[in-house]
């Protein structure tokens, strides 16, 4: 789902073309600043509304209904095409009615409504495992420099591969034999900002696996962010890109599979299919990225960029609104970092499906659940028994439960485990309630800060 620099420009150009065509046919359609947006559920309504200024944003899911579990009684396509843009998550299985509506929207209404996939550029985790190529010995936390992602571009600006955490997308990289291939390296921090290369950090390349004589890597180039690679023979290697400071390796990427020389298939087609395979289209991916405030920023940025492409006359407004909301997300992130840092436990028990996987990954704790990760999972009796054992072995005092799932299972576990003092409610931030809104914390930021953070703080023993 990650796009290259040229893809972003092409998408923007296509949207502007469609906008111009729509305005010729009928006034006040796509591109008008006072048009409306349609969001597939609560969080996307929140993100879109934060950016959209005077545009009206409508949430498809009724107040109090779970974002992924609710289904309309009839097709919502007529309501969607009445808006300028539809904001959704392109992960099959998260909202089945969206899966059903997208083919019709794409084939019959592409000139009437702009489709904004808020997952664009976000690496999703699989429900069963995480579905990525991993090196079991790799640990990004072992290095002094904190890096969120590494992106490789060819000389035309097209993205070849990108690394997040311990895995790559877009591989294997193809290096021709006896021909120079220049690659630009863009290293980004947790804020998504590029880490400058040259004076403080220099690039290096290490052959992790395979014959090092198959490939030459030159980082002593005119541009500090460029690597020149030359294949010497046919074969396969795994390369790691390093950042060096004062002769010390301060960061190294996970190994990147690399094809060197001539192979029987077309490299461009192969590379492209690898990326398409990670298009979150098989109902296996956890779409709830928004439990992590850092990843939530990326969703907001995608909506901002698409609104600018849709309505370029109001670019400054969308930029300003998005920047203000991103500041609030950054403040939320800092609060979680600071308040969960010093804690007694490194695990919590959630008696429901895990809507907080991205949150726990971000702040370094484990979530144990008898239900599993998928929203469709149901607990087995042995899984409940194992959870009771887990609670007692870890000395866990509180069992968490999802407001929209109910507390029955949490109560069952709490009654059976001797160490438990009580149960605590969390919100997956997929919807809201009238009571929360009246109390002033019904929005996404409020739920994350006023409901969830104090609960995780207490459950982890970080108070």
Return d(Cα 436, Cα 446) in angstroms, integer. Answer: 9
CATH 2.60.40.1080 fits 140-276, yes or no: yes
Q: At what angle do helices 42-52 and 315-339 cross, to 10 degrees?
A: 130
Decide the pairing of beta strands 149-153 and 173-175: unpaired
**How far is 257 from 192, CA to CA, in rounded Å?**
25
Binned at pLDDT 50, 70 and 90, residue 262 comes out as low
For residue 1, pLDDT over 50 is answered with no
Tell whether the model's pLDDT for residue 439 goes beyond 80: yes
Q: What is the pLDDT of residue 277?
A: 37
Alpha-helix runs per DSSP H in 89-205:
96-108
**Residue 372, pLDDT score:** 57
Instruction: Give the tens place of pLDDT for each residue, 61-93.
Output: 998 887 887 888 888 999 999 999 999 999 988
Judged on CB neighbours under 10 Å (0-12, 13-18, 19+), 401 is buried
Q: What is the pLDDT of residue 48?
A: 97
Size (the chain), residues: 463
Q: What percent of the chain has pLDDT over 70?
A: 83
The pLDDT-based confidence of 395 (bands split at 50, 70, 90) is: very high
Q: What is the pLDDT of residue 352?
A: 84
Q: Which residue has the tokens 């030459």?
A: 216
Average pLDDT over the chain, rounded to an integer: 83
pLDDT for 137: 59
Least confident of 267-271, 359-363, 391-395: 267-271
**Section 212-241 average pLDDT:** 88
- pLDDT interval class at 171 (50, 70, 90): very low
Task: Give φ, ψ of 46 to 5 degrees.
Answer: -60, -50
pLDDT exceeds 80 at position 265 = no
Give pLDDT, residue 281: 37
Interval 422-427 mean pLDDT: 97
Residue 395 backbone class (left: φ over 0; alpha: ψ -120 to 50; beta: rest)? left
pTM, rounded to two decimals: 0.62
pLDDT of 19 higher than 90: no
Q: Tell me the angle at which helices 5-25 and 293-310 cross, rounded to the nearest 10 degrees.
A: 50
What pLDDT, in 10s, does the model give residues 27-66? 333 445 457 999 999 999 999 999 998 889 999 999 888 7
Architecture of domain 5-124+280-329: 3-Layer(aba) Sandwich (3.40)
pLDDT > 90 fraction of the chain, expressed in percent and rounded: 55
pLDDT > 90? residue 136: no
Asked whether residue 204 carries a pLDDT value surpassing 50, the answer given is yes
Show me where the domains of the chain are located: 5-124+280-329, 140-276, 341-459
| Host H or E run for residue 186 | strand 180-188
Query: Are 5-124+280-329 and 341-459 equal in CATH topology?
Result: yes
pLDDT average, residue stretch 166-171: 65
The CATH architecture annotation of domain 341-459 reads 3-Layer(aba) Sandwich (3.40)
Q: 10 Å Cβ neighbour count for 153? A: 21
């Amino acid at each position: 789902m990650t796009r290259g620099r040229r893809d972003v420009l092409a998408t923007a150009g296509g949207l502007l073309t469609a906008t111009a065509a729509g305005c010729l046919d009928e006034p006040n359609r796509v591109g008008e600043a006072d048009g409306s947006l349609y969001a597939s559920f609560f969080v996307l309504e929140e993100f879109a509304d934060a950016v959209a200024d005077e545009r009206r944003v409508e949430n498809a899911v009724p107040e109090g209904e779970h974002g992924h579990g609710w289904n309309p009684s009839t097709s919502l396509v007529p309501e969607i095409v009445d808006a300028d843009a539809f904001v959704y998550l392109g992960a099959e299985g998260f909202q089945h009615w969206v899966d059903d509506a997208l083919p019709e929207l794409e084939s019959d209404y592409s000139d009437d409504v702009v489709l904004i996939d808020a997952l664009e550029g976000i690496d999703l985790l699989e429900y069963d495992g995480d579905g990525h190529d991993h090196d079991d010995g790799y640990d990004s936390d072992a290095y002094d420099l904190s890096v969120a992602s590494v992106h490789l571009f060819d000389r035309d600006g097209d993205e070849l591969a990108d690394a997040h955490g311990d895995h790559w997308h877009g591989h294997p990289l193809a290096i021709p034999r006896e021909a120079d291939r220049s690659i630009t390296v863009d290293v980004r921090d947790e804020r998504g900002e590029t880490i400058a290369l040259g004076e403080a950090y220099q690039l290096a390349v290490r052959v992790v696996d395979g014959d090092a004589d198959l490939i030459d890597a030159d980082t002593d180039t005119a541009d500090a962010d460029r690597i020149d690679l030359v294949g010497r023979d046919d074969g396969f290697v795994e390369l790691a890109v390093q950042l060096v400071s004062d002769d010390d390796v301060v960061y190294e990427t996970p190994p990147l599979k690399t094809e060197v020389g001539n192979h029987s298939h077309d490299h461009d087609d192969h590379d492209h299919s690898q990326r398409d395979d990670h298009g979150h289209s098989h109902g296996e991916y956890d779409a709830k990225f928004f439990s992590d405030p850092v990843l939530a920023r990326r969703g907001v940025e995608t909506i901002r960029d698409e609104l600018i492409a849709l309505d370029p006359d109001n670019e400054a407004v969308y930029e300003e609104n998005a920047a203000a909301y991103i500041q609030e997300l950054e403040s939320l992130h800092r609060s979680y970092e600071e308040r969960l840092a010093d804690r007694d436990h490194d695990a919590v028990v959630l008696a429901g499906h895990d809507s907080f996987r991205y949150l726990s990954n971000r702040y370094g704790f484990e979530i144990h659940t008898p239900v599993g990760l998928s929203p469709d999972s149901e607990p087995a009796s042995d899984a409940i028994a194992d959870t009771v054992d887990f609670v007692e072995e870890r000395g866990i005092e509180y069992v968490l439960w999802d407001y929209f799932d109910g507390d029955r299972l949490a109560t069952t576990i709490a009654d059976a485990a001797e160490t438990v003092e009580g149960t605590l409610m969390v919100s997956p931030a997929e919807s809201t309630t009238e009571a929360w809104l009246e109390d002033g914390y019904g929005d996404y930021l409020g739920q994350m800060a006023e409901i969830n953070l104090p609960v995780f703080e207490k459950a982890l023993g970080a108070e």
